[in-house]
Amino acid sequence: MTTRSIIARALLVAALVLLAVAMYFIGKGHTLYLDTHAVTFEGTKHPAPLQVTVQVDNLKPEDLIDNDRVAVSVMGQRHRLTIDQGDGSAPITRQFSIPLAMKEAVVSVTAALAGLSDSELIKSPEAAVEEDFGSAGQFFMMQDTPSDSSSSTEK
């Protein structure tokens, strides 16, 4: 094998690895739960919107009422949230990004309407449940997690 062909093959392998890494980041799937529960931030309570139409990227718009939650599947980390309050005002658009490791995330529409930071906008389902139910939320999460239930069976 000549040096030239070794270099060509090494470049091809490197290109394939790079493409694989790019695909990993671009194609990572996430389930977003669009949530309209009330949010309390630094002592201020932001009430749940009564009725909104929410759209993530160019997906099908979802109609939500107060204390509602709907799931949408998205690809990649950066997304655009468009909220139409239906009162004739201009729709609110918000860019956000989801951490790569977060398979599921709760997106607070209330926090987006209140203009809160990304840390309040995006929460893990565990954190959202704990916020809603306090310490009892952990109990509900344990009941739902399949890996936990299988390990308890083995014991």
Partner 1 sequence: MKRKLRLFFIDNAVVIVFVVLIAAAIPVSKMPTQFLVQEILMRLGRNSFLVLSLLLPIMAGMGLNFGMTLGAMAGQIGLIFAVDWNIVGIPGIVLAAIIATPIAILLGYLCGTVLNRAKGREMVTGYILAFFMNGLYQLIVLYAMGTIIPIHNPELLLSRGYGIRNVVNLITMRQAIDMIIPLKVGGIRIPVATYMLVALMCVFIVWFRKTKLGHDMRAVGQDREVSLAAGIPVERTRIVAIIISTLLACYGQIIFLQNLGTLNTYNSHEQAGTFSIAALLIGGASVARASIPNVFIGVTLFHLLFIVSPNAGKNLIGSAQLGEFFRQFVSYGVIALSLVLFAWKRQADEEAARAHLRVGAEEAASRDADEGKGASA
Which positions touch partner 1 (CB under 8 A)?
16, 19-20, 22-24, 26-30, 73, 75, 103, 146-147, 150, 154
For partner 1, the closer of residues 80 and 103 by Cβ is 103
Sheet containing 62-65: which strands, arranged edge to edge?
62-65, 51-56, 78-84, 92-97
- Which tokens belong to 23? 């695909």
- Which tokens belong to 55? 């759209």
Distance in angstroms (rounded) separating the CA atoms of residues 46 and 43: 10
For partner 1, the closer of residues 31 and 85 by Cβ is 31
Closest distance of CB 123 from partner 1, Å? 19
H or E element at residue 112? helix 109-114
Q: Which of 150, 151, 111 minimizes the C-alpha distance to 127?
A: 111
Alpha-carbon dihedral sign for residues 17, 78, 40, 71: negative
Closest distance of CB 146 from partner 1, Å? 5
Closest distance of CB 155 from partner 1, Å? 12
Closest distance of CB 38 from partner 1, Å? 31
For partner 1, the closer of residues 118 and 144 by Cβ is 144
For partner 1, the closer of residues 24 and 133 by Cβ is 24
